[in-house]
């Protein structure tokens, strides 16, 4: 019954919109159970949306990544120009870019799951029989999903902790750190969705007799 009481505590905490209460509600380990259910639902739902709205599938993560990348470069570039030409520098020009980098890296991590471009030693897998290859792909799915779950729960706790401590981005007056940190649990959800999408493709390839493994090319989809 503990699980239900923890669940009701979490729901009421979310309803209260109070960061300290949410932080307390996220502490029990039953949060992993809720996280797993949430990821399973949101992962499959997002994979379904990706399938039916290809524009989102193709451009959502890419847009976030490119925007954060260019914003990071732009802020740093302007920071140098500002210092040399105008003898001035915005105090946040060195503190906001790392957060943008974090968003780009985490969303990039999710995007690379879909592209299957995360570094791996695939020589043995390529030489395996078809069923063994599928088993390896299933293993990848499970490992990504469980990792996404751990990332979701642990980073949600960090977000709640940051919000309850009113952590402000250095060099700003009122920009909260948790606004940026929230991108981590969102990226975890995207990772789960990408893993679901991949395994759906793998099952379909297994049934249709298409090759299960393809040569992944970094930047091949750009």
Q: Is 37 in the site for other proteins (CB under 8 A)?
A: no
Stretch that binds other proteins, among 1-9, 38-46, 60-68, 197-205 (CB under 8 A): 60-68
* CB-neighbour burial class of residue 208 (10 A; exposed 0-12, middle 13-18, buried 19+): exposed
Select 48 or 79, whichever has its Cβ closest to other proteins: 79
Q: Is 58 in the site for other proteins (CB under 8 A)?
A: no
Count of C-beta atoms within a 10 Å radius of residue 170: 12
Cα gap 94→77, rounded to integer Å: 11
Residues in the interface with other proteins (CB under 8 A) total 63
**Residue whose C-alpha is closest to residue 40's, from 149, 179, 201:** 149
Residue with tokens 């639902």: 41
Q: Is 14 in the site for other proteins (CB under 8 A)?
A: no
Give whole-number Cα distances, 14 to 28, 115, 130, 162, 206, in Å.
15, 35, 46, 16, 42
Q: Which of the residues 64 through 83 are near other proteins (CB under 8 A)?
A: 65-66, 69-70, 72-77, 79-81
Of the candidate residues 11, 41, 53, 218, the single one contacting other proteins (CB under 8 A): 218
CA atoms within 13 A on the CB side of 134: 13
Q: Which of residues 167-186 bind other proteins (CB under 8 A)?
A: 177, 180-181, 184
Among positions 92-151, residues that touch other proteins (CB under 8 A) are: 94-95, 97-99, 101-102, 104-112, 115, 117-126, 136, 139-140, 143-144, 147, 150-151
Closer to other proteins by CB, 48 or 171: give it.
Answer: 171
d(CA 143, CA 5): 29
SS3 state at 168? strand
Name the site residues for other proteins (rule: CB under 8 A): 62, 65-66, 69-70, 72-77, 79-81, 94-95, 97-99, 101-102, 104-112, 115, 117-126, 136, 139-140, 143-144, 147, 150-151, 153-155, 157-158, 177, 180-181, 184, 215, 217-219, 222
């Amino acid at each position: 019954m503990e699980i239900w009481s923890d669940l009701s505590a979490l729901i009421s905490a979310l309803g209260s919109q109070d960061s300290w209460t949410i932080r307390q509600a996220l502490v029990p380990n039953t949060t992993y159970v809720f996280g797993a259910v949430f990821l399973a639902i949101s992962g499959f739902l997002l994979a379904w949306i990706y399938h039916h709205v290809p524009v989102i599938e193709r451009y959502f993560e890419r847009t976030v990544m490119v925007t954060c990348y260019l914003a990071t470069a732009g802020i740093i570039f302007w920071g140098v120009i500002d210092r040399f030409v105008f003898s001035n520098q915005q105090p946040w020009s060195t503190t906001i870019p790392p957060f943008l980098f974090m968003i780009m890296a985490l969303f990039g991590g999710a995007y690379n799951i879909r592209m299957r471009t995360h570094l791996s030693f695939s020589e043995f897998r390529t030489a395996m029989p078809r069923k063994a290859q599928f088993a390896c792909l299933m293993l990848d799915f499970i490992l990504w999903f469980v990792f996404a779950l751990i990332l979701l729960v642990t980073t949600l706790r960090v977000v709640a902790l940051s919000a309850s401590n009113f952590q402000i981005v250095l060099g700003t007056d009122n920009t909260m750190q948790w606004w940026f940190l929230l991108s981590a649990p969102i990226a975890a959800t995207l990772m789960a969705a990408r893993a679901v999408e991949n395994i759906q493709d793998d099952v379909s390839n297994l049934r249709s007799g298409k090759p299960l493994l393809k040569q992944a090319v970094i930047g091949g989809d750009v």
